[in-house]
Amino acid sequence: MIRLDKPREQALAILNSVEAGGFADPLIDEARRSFDARDCAFILEIVYGTLRNRARLDWVLNRFSAQPIERTDAWTRNILRLGAYQMLYLDRVPVSAAVDTATELAKQYGKKQGYVNGLLRNLDRKRNTIADPAPGEPITRLSVLYSHPAWLVRRWVKRFGEGIAEALLQQNNQPAPLVIRVNTLKTNREELAAALEAEGVQVRNTNYSPLGIEIVAGPALQDLTPFQNGWFMVQDEAAQLISMMLAPQPSEAVLDSCAAPGGKATHLAAIMQGQGTVVALEIDPKRIKRIRENSTRLTTAIVVPTRGDATLFKEGVYDKVLVDAPCSGLGVLRRHPDGRWGKDESTVRERSLLQARILENCAGLVRPGGALVYATCTTEPEENEDVVAAFLAGPGQGFSIEDPRPYLPSPARVLVNEQGFFHTYPRALEMDGFFGVRIKRKTS
């Protein structure tokens, strides 16, 4: 009896859970407890690779299946995707290994081993005959080639044009860079870079944030002395710029209204030179624990993790407020490829309603003359410009948009348009897709 390949079996379980509404990141983190580093890397590769290329894989598989694979059971569908991903994208995995392990998985899950074996072998024999969607069907072509849902492709083509939309889609299918932010309470970028290089890490400085370092290659971050000493936080360059836009001053009272896991809250504390108060508000008690852990490691003692609902929280008056609002996450799909498959246009609408409630409530906590930054990691106007416009025309008539460029590093100022809106897309695709706006409360 052939034993099941455990890493592939774990990857299959994760893909099935994601299709049922789960999230890949915590499932992969949980799996790390049961596998060594090599197997963990393989699980990460085939799970993310399959999710990143799912529409393309389905298109190819349907060329060789008697019925659309979406009509079969989820176990069989994901076994086929896993097998096809290894065959088409991983040169180091022999085709025989991909097919045989998929067939063995199908004996245990789905019970359609003959179908799986036959389809994958047929794919191997005829892979050179696979044709891409016709050029005259741009939405289908882009959706398949870059594995994004058609509804999102249609939106981006309409908004940006086919060329820019294709660049966005292509960038989303690249692995996201690993970027860290220097903890200026303890060190500076030059000293941190030297310490990392001394431990075998290959680094380069980011282009827009003077506090960012990209990790090109090296050991696991948690094993590095600078990590253990609290010299840095993992945080994309775009997120770093959002905190800089708020520009809190030492001794001010600041509210970070949706704070987990604490990246921006700890950055705000560093900008304030460890003086004042940063209330790090979070509704989920488990995520409050993450804020506390990160704050302790970075020694940002002025961060106060606080449980509360940002739509209802009424405690205190603040000089500065950050609303990094829950959103559809369409600006971080390269980092979370599972995010493309569990959302639709209703997600955008639902998030915009929540965002409006959070913005209205938290704006009421800003002192006269104080400032608020509203930010998201999504690309859609309904969650960004439209939320801000509705606020300013209604409950926020006592606020006005303030030019954020004086608060940003010089290289990042080109990312602000004439309306005062900060966008990292489509101009700076090396960063996550963030939106931000700084609005100031009138003094009377």
Which one of 40, 258, 362, 377 is the catalytic residue?
A: 377
Could you give the CA distance from residue 356 to residue 366 in angstroms, rounded to a whole number? 16
- Bridge partners (DSSP) of residue 164 are none
Helices (H), ranges, 127-188: 138-146, 150-160, 162-172
Instruction: Write down the residue that tokens 């006005």 correspond to.
Output: 400
Given a contact cutoff of 8 angstroms between Cβ atoms, the answer to whether 143 and 53 are in contact is no
User: How buried is 395 (Cβ within 10 angstroms: 0-12 exposed, 13-18 middle, 19+ buried)?
Assistant: middle
Cα-trace Rg, the chain: 24
Helix %, strand %, coil % of the chain (to 5): 50, 15, 35
Q: What are the φ/ψ torsions at residue 338 (nearest 5 degrees)? A: -65, -20
In the numeric block, which tokens belong to residue 63? 């060329």
- Of residues 84, 108, 109, the one with CA closest to residue 98: 84
Could you give the CA distance from residue 307 to residue 254 in angstroms, rounded to a whole number? 15
Could you give the CA distance from residue 60 to residue 415 in angstroms, rounded to a whole number? 39
- Sign of torsion over alpha carbons 332, 337, 338, 343: positive
Given a contact cutoff of 8 angstroms between Cβ atoms, the answer to whether 327 and 337 are in contact is no
3-state secondary structure of 377: coil
- Of residues 270, 256, 254, the one with CA closest to residue 367: 254
377 is annotated as an active-site residue: yes
Could you give the CA distance from residue 180 to residue 297 in angstroms, rounded to a whole number? 15
Q: What are the φ/ψ torsions at residue 278 (nearest 5 degrees)? A: -120, 105
In the numeric block, which tokens belong to residue 166? 């294709």
Active site residues: 377
